[in-house]
Structure 1
Amino acid sequence: MADRKLFAGHAVRRLRRQVGLTQAAMAEALTISPSYLNLVEKNQRPLSAALLVKLAESFDFDPRSLAAGEPGGGEAAIRRRLADPLFADLEIDRNEIEEWLAGAPGGAEAFARAYDRAGAGGGDTTEGVADPVAEVRREIERWRGHFADLDTMAEALADELRLGAGDLYGAIAERLRVKHQLTIRVLPVDVMPDLLRRTDLHARQLQLSETLDPASRTFAAAFQLAQIEARGEIEALAKGAGFADRAAERMYRRHLASYFAAAVMMPYARFLRGCEATGYDLELLQRRFGAGFEQVAHRLTTLQRVGARGLPFFMVRIDRAGQASKRFSGASGAALAEAERRCPLWRIHHAFDRPGALAVQLVELEDETRWLTLARTVAPQGRRYGAVRAEFAVGLGVASEHAGTLAAARGIDLRGEATPIGLGCRACLRSDCPQRSMPPAGRVLSINDRERGLSAFTFAGD
C-alpha cells in the first residue's frame, strides 16, 4: 500500500485556483513543465513524493488534506454509487469515471452528495429530509476512516498513561480524578436500568453500569477523556465537516471521540506491530490490548498512517434481518461495505448459527474482485437476565491479494475456488444462482413455460 500511486489532480487544481495562478505560473514555481502539471491535474500522471514536498514548501499545502479531498470519496466510492441498479442501463465504465473526476470534480462531488442525501438511491429516507447517518458516513469516508491528528494525540497520551501504571483503566481513572476532578463510579443496574454511561457534572462523576465488561469500561473511560482532552481537535474536525444538520454534527463528534478512545486503547504504532507480528490474529489482538472483537475490527479499518499503513480492511455490522448498523470501508474500496443489501451466500449471515465462532470465507464479486472475509457475532453490553437479547454479526474483509499474511488465511488457497456472491439480488446479474429471491432491477423478465432453470427468475441479457 505504501507504494500505491497517488492521483490527486483535483486537489492540485483546487490549490492552484485558490492561490490565483495559471498552470504556467505554478509550474514555474514548482520547477516543472506546464505540460507535466497539466497531466497531473488531469490525473494522467501520479503526484510524486518530490512534487508533494514542493507543494508543501511553496504553497503551505497540507498533504493530509488529500485524504479528505477526493470528490465523492474518490473513484472507488463513485463506482459503488453507480453500481446501483438505477444506473444499470447506462453502462458507465471506469475510464468514464476517471475522466469525470479529472474534468469535473465539482460535478462528481455534487452527484455524490445528492445520491447520499437521497438515501442511496431512494432507499428508506423521507423525500427532502437529510439522513444524518449517511452524511456522517460520507464524511468518515472522505477521510478514509483515519484521523491522523487524533491518532497522534491519543498515541502520546497512551504512552504517558503507560508510564504511570500498567493498568490502562486504572491510569485513565486516576487521570480523570487528578487532572479533571472526575471520579468513576460503577453503579448497580437497578440504579441505571436504561443507561450504560452517564456524566454527572454536578456530582463530578463518570457513572458506569455494572453490566459493562472490562473492555467496555476502559472504552467508556477513554471516551470521557477524549471529550475533555481532545475537545479542540474534535471541534476543528466537526466544524470542517460543515454539517447543516445538528444531529449529524453530534453523531460525528461522538464518532471522533470514540475514535480517540479506541486509539488510546490500541495506540497506532504498537497496534500495527501487533497486527503484523500475529498475522492480524483477532483473538490475540483482543487479549493483548484488552479490547472487544468489534473494537479490534473497527480499529483495523483505520490503519492508514502515511508511511505506516496496515492492510486495507473493511467492516460491516448487521442484524439477523441483514440491516447494517455500521459500515466502514476504510481504504479498501470494498463494495461489500457500501452496498445497501447483502448476498445470503456470504457467510456473515451464517455467523448467527455459531455464536462466538469465526467464519472465514473466500468470496468473489461479479467484477471478479476477490475478498477474504471473517465474521463473528457480538452482543451489546447492558443486558439483564430475562431481557431481549440483541445480537449482531460483524464482518471484516480484505482483498485476497493482501490476505496472504493473515493467520486466518492459513490453509486457504487464495487463488483457488471462491464463493460467487453479489451485492443483493436486485443489484446482482448472476443468472445461475439458485439462491435468487428476486430479479435484478432494470432487467426484463423472460418467462418460458416449457423450461425451468436453477432460478425462478430468468431475465433479458442472460
Structure 2
Amino acid sequence: MVERKLFAGHAVRRLRRTLALTQAAMAEALDVSPSYLNLIERNQRPLTATLMLRLAETYDFDPRNLGASEPGGGSDAIRRRLADPMFADLEVDRAQVEEWLAGAPGGAEAFARAYDRMGQGGAASDGAPDPASAVRREIERWRNHFADLDAAAEALADELRQGSGDLYSAMAERLRVRHQMSVRILPVEVMPDLLKRIDLHARQVQLSESLEPASRSFALAERLAQEAQGEIEALVRGAGLDRLGERLYRRHLTGYFAAALMMPYARFLRACEATGHDVELLMRRFGATWEQVAHRLTTLQRVGARGLPFFMLRTDRAGQVSKRYAGASGSPLADAPGLCPLWGAFDAFERQGDVAVQLAELEDGSRWLTLARVVQPQGARAGGVRARFAVVLGLSASDAATLASARGLDLRGVAVPIGLGCRACTRPDCPQRSAAPGGRARLVNDRETGLSPFGFAGD
C-alpha cells in the first residue's frame, strides 16, 4: 500500500520555536537548506523519513508526535467540522483548509477547540466544554492508534499464549497469580443491573452469567490493562482534559488495550490480509464480537505495517450515533452532522444477523463501501427492552477491491447517492429529503411540485 505523505510543518515549527532556534540554525543541524526547511514548515513539502530520523536523533524528538499534533486533528478533521450546515454558504474547499493549516495552525486549532466546545455546533447547555467531544478530538489526533499500548498488549498476548492455548483461561490465571484476583461468574439475580464489577475487597472480577464468551474475555483483558497503566496514564496526562474527560479517555484506552490483547496487532493484520477482512471469520478466529472486530479494524496504523483505513460508527434506528471512529479514513461519513436515510446502515435493521453491503457515493464524488450489521447489547432479560444498534464499517471504494465483502461487486459501477444528512446535503432531486439544506433559502411554488416538497435556492 502506498504510504500517505506526512505534512507536519506546524509540528516542526513548534519544535523549532520551543528550542528558540532560527530556521537557518535548525536547517544547518539537519543538513538541509533554510529554504527547504521553510517549505516544510509551510506544508509545501512533506516530511521525509530521513529528515524525521534526523529530527529524532538531533533533538531527542518522538516522531509519533508529528502525526498526533496536527491542529484540529488535521485537514480531514477540520473539513468534517466545516461540513456543519452552519458553514454551508462558505464553500471552504480543501486547498483553503490546507493553506489555513500551513499559514495559521494556531487559528485552525482555536477553531477546532471552539467548535468542539460548542458540542459540534450546538451550544452546551451550561456553556462548559463537552468532555466527550474533547475526548473524541484527542482520539482523532492519534487516528485511534496508540503504538505503545499495541506493543504492550502484543507482548502480553505472546506471553499468555506460551502458557495456554485458551486466552480466557490464560488471562484468568494471570489475574490469579500476578494480581491476586479470582474470576467469578454470578447469576443475574445477584447482579440484576450490572454486567461486570471489580470487588477489590473480595479480590474478584465478577461477571454476569448473561455475558457471552467474547465479552467475558474482553472484561478480563480490560482488567489486565493495569499492566500498561504507565502508558495509559502518560497518554491521559498529555491530553489536557478535565476530570470527566480523563475518565472517559482512560476508559477508551483501557478498551483499546483489551482489544489489542485479544487481537494482537501482527497476528490480526496477517489474518485480515489472508481472509480479505472477513469480519465473521475474524470473530471466530479471535473469539471477539462483530463490534469488537469492527473497532479493531480502525486502529491498524502501525508505521511500516498499516492496515486498510476503515472508519466505524454505531447508530440506532433514529440515526443517533453513539460511537464513531474515523481512524485514518478521512471519510466525511465518520463525522457527518447527520445521517442519510438512504445509507445502507439502516438496511441492517431489516436484516437481523446479516450484513448489509452498500456502495455509496457522496456529493463530492467520493465512493465508499460500507458494511452494516445489527448488534444487541447483552444483559436484557425476558420481557425487558432489547436495544438494537447498527455497527457500520466503511472503506474508500478505491481500497476495497481485496475485501471478501466486495467479491462480485463492481466498485466502479452504479453507487447509491447519499448525503451527510438533509441539512448538509444539497442534492436537489432527492425524494427522501426531510429538510432544506442549512444556509439555503427554502422555495415554495404554488404552481409546481417537485420530487421533494423541500425545494431550496441554488448557489
TM-score grouping bracket, smaller chain normalisation: over 0.9
C-alpha separation in 1, matches of 2:448 and 2:320: 35
SS of 2:458's partner is coil
> Which residue number corresponds to residue 230 of structure 1?
228
Picking from 259, 262, 273, the partner of 2:270 is 273
SS of 2:152's partner is helix
Picking from 371, 383, 388, the partner of 2:385 is 388
1:347, CA displacement in angstroms? 1.1
Give the conservation status (yes or no) of the 8 Å contact 2:83–2:337: no
> Which residue number corresponds to residue 413 of structure 1?
410
Deviations 1:116-147 (A, max 9, x none): 11011116x31412211111111100100000
Give the conservation status (yes or no) of the 8 Å contact 2:346–2:390: yes
SS of 2:120's partner is helix
For the pair 1:39 / 2:39, whether they are aligned, the reply is yes
> What TM-score does the superposition give when structure 2 sets the normalisation length?
0.99
Give the conservation status (yes or no) of the 8 Å contact 2:369–2:396: yes
Correspondence 1:238-253 to 2 at 5 A = 238-243=236-241, 245-253=242-250
> Which residue number corresponds to residue 79 of structure 1?
79
Picking from 304, 309, 317, the partner of 2:306 is 309
C-alpha separation in 2, matches of 1:401 and 1:8: 25
Picking from 359, 363, 368, the partner of 2:356 is 359
SS of 1:348's partner is helix
C-alpha separation in 1, matches of 2:130 and 2:401: 38
Give the letter for the 1:233 counterpart.
E
SS of 2:370's partner is strand
SS of 1:90's partner is coil
SS of 1:122's partner is coil
> Which residue number corresponds to residue 128 of structure 2?
129
Q: Residues 133 and 437 of structure 1: is their aligned pair in 2 closer, same or farther, counting only changes over 3 Å?
A: same
Deviations 1:48-85 (A, max 9, x none): 11111111111111111123100000000101111111
For the pair 1:332 / 2:329, whether they are aligned, the reply is yes
Identical-residue share of aligned pairs (%): 72
Deviations 1:280-337 (A, max 9, x none): 0000000000000000000000000000000000000011111000000000011111
Give the conservation status (yes or no) of the 8 Å contact 1:133–1:248: yes
Give the letter for the 1:332 counterpart.
S
Deviations 1:230-289 (A, max 9, x none): 11111111001011x211110110110000000000000000000000000000000000
C-alpha separation in 2, matches of 1:438 and 1:100: 31
SS of 1:405's partner is coil
> Which residue number corresponds to residue 154 of structure 2?
155
C-alpha separation in 1, matches of 2:64 and 2:386: 42
Aligned length: 459
For the pair 1:12 / 2:12, whether they are aligned, the reply is yes
> Which residue number corresponds to residue 112 of structure 1?
112
For the pair 1:138 / 2:137, whether they are aligned, the reply is yes
Picking from 437, 442, 446, the partner of 1:445 is 442
C-alpha separation in 1, matches of 2:182 and 2:381: 25
| The 10-residue stretch of structure 1 (86-95 or 190-199) with the greater mean CA deviation from structure 2 | 86-95
> Which residue number corresponds to residue 253 of structure 2?
256
SS of 1:235's partner is helix
The gaps in structure 1 that reach 5 residues or longer are none
> Runs of 4+ in structure 1 displaced over 3 angstroms?
none
For the pair 1:91 / 2:91, whether they are aligned, the reply is yes
Give the letter for the 1:172 counterpart.
M
Give the letter for the 2:13 counterpart.
R
> What TM-score does the superposition give when structure 1 sets the normalisation length?
0.98
Root-mean-square deviation over aligned CA pairs: 0.9
C-alpha separation in 1, matches of 2:71 and 2:58: 24
Deviations 1:70-118 (A, max 9, x none): 0000000101111111112222122211111011111101100110110
C-alpha separation in 2, matches of 1:394 and 1:91: 31
SS of 1:316's partner is strand
Correspondence 1:185-200 to 2 at 5 A = 185-200=184-199
Give the conservation status (yes or no) of the 8 Å contact 2:84–2:337: no
